[in-house]
């Protein structure tokens, strides 16, 4: 029986060694791509969209990411049609990040799938894991918000600027704060 590679473990959301050669090579390729993408800030959106299609898993029609943009790998990011990410967004995509159509993301937002063991003995091994993030359609995420590993945000939700989203957000909900909580009715 063949042992699973560290990359296969990472993509499956299992504990993996981020120092593995295959993983480091993938990160180096992403860094090279980001240098090209971020240097293309003065190029037409259509040119940047083609660069996005080189690296990202899916790029819907009309999707825009304004440079600078940073990610771990890129190949785990799925953008729906008309998605907009403003300047200086970060996506740590050790596992899948899905952003639904027409979702708008303000400057400085961080979407994080990378996670670490809670148990101190396991954490000492240096292994880590990821939990997917799913963002629905027509969501608005305000400037500087943090979306933590494993969170699902429903369609038509609104995330207030500076919020730290630690748990799932229902469709149509407005949440804000640290940790993000639903707006009182």
Which residues have a catalytic role annotated?
116
Q: Which strands, in side-by-side order, build the sheet including 97-99?
A: 58-59, 77-79, 97-99, 133-135, 152-153
Strands 174-176 and 158-159: parallel
Strands 140-141 and 158-159: parallel
**SS3 label, residue 3:** coil
Residue 180: both structure tokens together: 């993000």
Q: Which residue has the tokens 């943090």?
A: 146
């Amino acid at each position: 029986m063949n042992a699973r590679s560290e990359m296969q473990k990472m993509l499956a959301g299992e504990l993996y060694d981020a120092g593995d050669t295959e993983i480091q090579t993938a990160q180096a390729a992403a860094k090279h791509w980001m240098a090209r993408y971020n240097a293309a800030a003065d190029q037409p959106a259509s040119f940047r969209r083609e660069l996005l299609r080189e690296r990202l898993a899916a790029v819907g029609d009309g999707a825009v990411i304004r440079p600078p943009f940073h990610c771990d790998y890129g190949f785990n990011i799925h953008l729906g049609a008309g998605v907009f990410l403003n300047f200086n967004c970060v996506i740590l995509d050790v596992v899948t990040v899905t952003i639904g159509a027409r979702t708008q993301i303000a400057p400085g937002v961080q979407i994080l799938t990378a996670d670490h063991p809670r148990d101190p003995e396991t954490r000492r091994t240096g292994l880590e894991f990821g939990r997917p993030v799913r963002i629905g359609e027509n969501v608005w995420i305000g400037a500087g918000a943090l979306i933590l590993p494993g969170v699902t945000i429903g369609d038509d939700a609104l995330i207030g600027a500076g919020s730290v989203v630690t748990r799932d957000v229902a469709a149509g909900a407005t949440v804000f704060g640290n940790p993000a909580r639903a707006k009182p009715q």
